[in-house]
Amino acid sequence: MGHWARIDDDNIVQEVIVIKEAELDTGAWGDKSKWIKTSYNTHEGKHYVPKEHQDFSEESPDQSKALRFNFAWIGAYYDAENNVFRHLQPFPSFVLNKENWSWHAPIQAPSLTQEEIDKGKIYLWNEELHQSDNTKGWELKQGQEIPNYIDSDIDSDVIDDPKALEEINKGN
């Protein structure tokens, strides 16, 4: 048994299931070339000791088990050339860091002041602003104005914790 991700013709993950490879070999699950093996215990290029509720706290002594940099998720992009599961490019100006397979804005986000943090403010990327002036792009927003990125493929330098973003979107 193992985890397998089914990709579409654009290499976007459609589902992730646990199945025996022999079952996939029968063809009953469609074209086997559309199924890519993935490891539940691989996160950010490292393999972790298997746990029922993986918390990525204990690295495996055998890092050869790290598979495709990340465990696949629905909506992930399978980069066949580099053999990794990663996010799609969130904005045309973002650059892919091939060391950690994450997208980064072309300019660094400003630091929040303590007052801004206390008021629930956060910086969000504005591609249109950046395209009009490539020295700009980050906009300071109030928590309630933040769009819900949890179900999209945006991997922000500023917001990278889905639970924290969910709380922000709730207005907490």
170 compared with 132, residue with greater pLDDT: 132
Average pLDDT over residues 3-21: 96
Q: How far apart are CA 114 and CA 87, in angstroms?
A: 31
Instruction: Please provide the average confidence, as pLDDT, over all residues in the chain.
Output: 85
- Tokens for 29, please give them: 């699950």
Enclosing H/E stretch for 43: strand 42-43
> Rounded to whole angstroms, what are the CA distances from 18 to 2, 23, 167?
5, 11, 31
pLDDT tens string 74-94: 999 999 999 999 999 999 999
Q: What share of the chain in percent tops pLDDT 70?
A: 83
> Any residues with CB less than 8 A from the CB of 22 and at least 6 apart, and which?
none
Helix (H, G, I), strand (E, B) or coil at 3: strand
Inform me whether the pLDDT recorded for 152 exceeds 70.
no
pLDDT tens string 26-78: 999 999 999 999 998 898 889 899 888 888 888 999 998 888 999 999 999 99
Quote the pTM value.
0.70
156 burial level (CB within 10 Å; 0-12, 13-18, 19+): buried
Q: Look up residue 12 and give its DSSP letter.
A: B
* Model pLDDT, residue 54: 82
Alpha helices in the chain (DSSP H): 21-25, 114-118, 127-132, 162-169
Q: Say if strands 84-86 and 2-7 run parallel, antiparallel, or are unpaired.
A: unpaired
